[in-house]
Amino acid sequence: GAGVSQSPSNKVTEKGKDVELRCDPISGHTALYWYRQSLGQGLEFLIYFQGNSAPDKSGLPSDRFSAERTGGSVSTLTIQRTQQEDSAVYLCASSFLGRGRIGYTFGSGTRLTVV
Amino acid sequence: AQTVTQSQPEMSVQEAETVTLSCTYDTSENNYYLFWYKQPPSRQMILVIRQEAYKQQNATENRFSVNFQKAAKSFSLKISDSQLGDTAMYFCAFMNAGSYGGATNKLIFGTGTLLAVQP
């Protein structure tokens, strides 16, 4: 596609349920990032995938959070046993990293509300 | 660890006027990139302007320009001839350029400045 696509756009879930958020990056982009944006906060780095390398999971806030990227393309962020503090906008970005070419393209995010 | 600070939570400007958004950062690295992103209500982050730290010349994109002061670790955004469509949240961001393709290529964001352009 022309841009980074995220689904669903909005998600309301009950506390304790599991949710899956999907990110479809720009074709050919080797790097994919997940960020979390809480109300009144900046963007918080969660996880980074680059090609076939082991992902950088250093930003995941707890073991309830996990992500995978299948076939170097689509990524799914899973939050298990959701808590109210998980309510936020989850943004995905993809990038082609090469010398002289630095830049992210962001999706429109998924707004997650845990009730 | 790198940090990015935006000390202005909210700003307001009259249409056609000029406004400057502040950003400071802290890093021990010498080679890095700085960005300003715009986030309108649609939530999508849109790249406004980018500056390579090794370049002394300030970046300019149409009505948007930066004042990059490397020694002071300051990176302010100037918006000239403000338009109603400029109303958005603006984020300053830092990225270490030390090893492209590696795990250090993550953007570190400030907390943002909400800019309102008044008619």
pLDDT of amino acid A97: 66
- What are residue A9's phi and psi, to 5 degrees? -75, -40
Contact B106 A45 (CB under 8 A): yes
Q: Measured between alpha carbons, how far is residue A23 from residues A3, A66, B20 in Å?
A: 11, 14, 34
Q: What is the pLDDT of residues A79-92, one digit of tens each?
A: 999 999 999 999 99
How would residue B96 be classed by pLDDT, with cut points 50, 70 and 90? confident
pLDDT of amino acid B107: 87
Contact A33 B108 (CB under 8 A): no
Please tell me which of the candidates B43, B102, B111 has its beta carbon nearest to residue A109.
B43
Q: Is the pLDDT of residue B9 over 90?
A: yes
Q: Is the pLDDT of residue B104 over 70?
A: no
Q: Is the pLDDT of residue A2 over 90?
A: no
Q: What is the pLDDT of residues B23-43, one digit of tens each?
A: 999 999 888 999 999 999 888
Residue of B7, B10, B44, B54 to mutate for A, most A C-beta atoms under 10 A: B44
Q: What is the mean pLDDT of chain B?
A: 91
pLDDT of amino acid B103: 47
Q: What is the pLDDT of residues A51-72, one digit of tens each?
A: 888 888 999 999 999 999 988 7
Q: B88 — contact with chain A (CB < 8 Å)?
A: no
- What are residue A70's phi and psi, to 5 degrees? -95, 130
pLDDT of amino acid B115: 97
Q: Is the pLDDT of residue B100 over 60?
A: no
B106: closest CA of chain A, how far (Å): 7
B19-21 and B64-69 beta bridge pairing: unpaired
